[in-house]
Structure formats: C-alpha cells, structure tokens
Amino acid sequence: MLDKFNREINYLRVSITDRCNLHCRYCRPKEGISLQGHDDILRYEEIIRVVSVAVKMGLVKVRVTGGEPLVRRGCVDFLSRLKKIEGLQDISLTTNGILLEEFAQKIFDAGISRINISLDSLNRDKYSHITNGGDLDAVLRGIARAEEVGFSPIKINTVVIKGFNDDEALDFVRLALDKPFQVRFIELMRVGQQTNLDDVGDYMPTSQLIDRIKKKYELEPIKNKKKRFDGPARIFKIKGGRGEIGFINPVSDHFCSTCNRLRLTSDGKLRVCLLNEKEVDLKKALRENCSDEELEGLFREAVLLKPKQHDLICTENTLKKCRHMSAIGG
C-alpha cells in the first residue's frame, strides 16, 4: 500500500476498546468521556477480517491498543486469533500494566512476546495523581511478571511532562541500566477536547531532556536499525547498561516522512493520521456485508487520504477539534 508521498503503509494500530481502568490526565478530558456501547465497537471477528484483508494488501505489523486492551473481555483469545493470521509478521500490545501481573503468562502463551507498558512516574503519589488513582505497585508487579515470563522486548513508555516528571528522567534511565528494558521518552502532545493538565505540567522538547541525561550518562546511538519493528524512536545504549533508552519526538521533530501506519479506532474507523481528523468508516461497510474487494477499496481510500505531515498546533481550536487519545489508541 503506497500513499501519495510514496510511503509504504504496512502497520496498523488497532484500538479494541475506548474503555480504560485509568484516567490519565493528558489522555482523557476533564469532564469524562461518553463511552462507546457494545454495538458501537467492532466485534473481534470483524477486526480479524479487517486485518486479514489488509495483510493481503501488504500489512505486516499490528499493535493492539485501547483504551486499555486488557479490560476488554476475550482479549487474549483475540490475540491468539490474530497470531494465526498468515503473513502478519509482528504483533505487539500496548498496556498500562495494571492487569499485567494476571495476564502476562496468558498473553505470552497466545504467542505475543512484544509488549509496551506505559509508566509516567516511579513515585506512588505522582503516579496516582497523573492516572487519577492508579496503583504504581500493580504496574511494577506486572512489569516484573512480564520479565519473568520472557517478554522481549519490554518497552516502557514515559510521556515527559515538564514540571511533573522531568525530574525523574534519570530514575527512568537507571531502570534501563539495571534491566534489559527499552525506556522510551515520548513528547507530550496537547490534543483532545480539554486535556486535564493545567495543574500538572506542560510539554518539554526531547532536546532538553537529552542534554540533562548526557550530563550524567554516555549515550551511544544505535545505528542502522538493527531491529526492524522499532518504529520512530531514536534509540541509544547507555554505557555499561543492560537496556536501551529511546526518544520519540512527535512534536519537536516529527517523523511524518517515514510514517507507515494507519489506525483502526474501536468504533471501526480507519484513521489516516493520529493528528488528523480524516477517517474512513469500515464498520458501516462491514455491517452492510461488504465484500473483501470493497474493504480493500476502503483501505486504498484511507491510504490515499494520508496527509504529508501532521500540523500539531496547540491552539484552543486545535484542541477542540481532535478526538482524544483514549478514543484513538495513541
């Protein structure tokens, strides 16, 4: 699937629910969100069909996300069905880790060995504050369990918020020194209708963070993408460390020119860019018993709608226009 700018689209992020057991302040609006009903979201068999058709068109990688994917009943069974799709080379899962202690073995047994865990603070009170009541210890137990079970890689995703957790940067780096984890620092995107961050902190460019880390640690860039499925992160080894650290800069240095992805929202829309409102409705077609050829046509339509790059402008208007991350899957 080639788009208008000659980018090969071979990666689909699939949100299986907009429900979440956390309420992160940058992800969901202050006033809460209206959750999609049972009939509004795609059934698992519909998602399997969509992915199977896309694989025939060149899709090789799927990430399952949410909301929180592990809160949707039947998630593990769904993962094992995804795993059976021939030609799909890479399947990974993004989770907040709250339920991971319970699910790690089952997910691994379903054939999924790559996992991303979101973790924005290593301090119990701060973690609870940013997630609106989340239990840090549950996540840490989940990460430990994932390591025990044999997940590799284990990636820890940390959204950097100036004034909130930038002072913990070195603690996160130490996590990658001691453990074979890839800790990735992600720039905060101020999107959605009303991010609930006013009392928390703000965007901080990666460059400032790197300067701070370099004062303490020697970073060795990992050249030539040795790992095919690493995505847009710039990855470094820390001298003497077991793991790696990475930086993802969607705002200060966007990676649109190498974008290879589409997103499937839980309500069955093919979204052409995280930060662009254009979507193609697959659910309607699926529920009207469309043929595989028609589905392929909708994929081609979405691919051709992909913009050259996003325009993340943090004005009041832009904030109002965008769907929330919790609805899109991040």
Looking at the Cβ atoms of 66 and 268, the one nearer to ligand SAM is 66
Which residues, 204 to 263, sit near ligand SAM by CB under 6 A?
Answer: none
CB of 48 to ligand SAM, least distance (A): 20
Stretch that binds ligand SAM, among 60-68, 82-90, 146-154, 299-307 (CB under 6 A): 60-68
Cα dist. 100→131, 155, 198, 244 in Å? Answer: 16, 14, 30, 22
| Nearer CB in complex with ligand SAM: 1/20 | 20
Q: Is the dihedral of CA 118, 115, 183, 322 positive or negative?
A: negative
Which residue in the set 12, 14, 20, 245 belongs to the binding site for ligand SAM (CB under 6 A)? 20
221 forms beta bridges with 236
Bridge partners for 276 per DSSP: 273
Residue number with CB closer to ligand SAM (94 or 182):
94
Stretch that binds ligand SAM, among 161-169, 188-196, 205-213, 285-293 (CB under 6 A): 188-196
User: Rule CB under 6 A: is residue 96 a binding residue for ligand SAM?
Assistant: yes
Give CA torsion, residues 320, 282, 325, 61, to 10 deg. -140
Give the number of residues written for the chain.
Answer: 330
Among 17, 92, 265, 326, binds ligand SAM (CB under 6 A): 326
Nearest Cα residue to 301 out of 277, 280, 278, 271 = 280
Given a contact cutoff of 8 angstroms between Cβ atoms, the answer to whether 303 and 9 are in contact is yes
Give the footprint of ligand SAM on this chain (CB under 6 A). Answer: 20, 26-27, 65-66, 68, 94-96, 118, 157, 159, 186, 188-189, 191, 325-326, 329-330
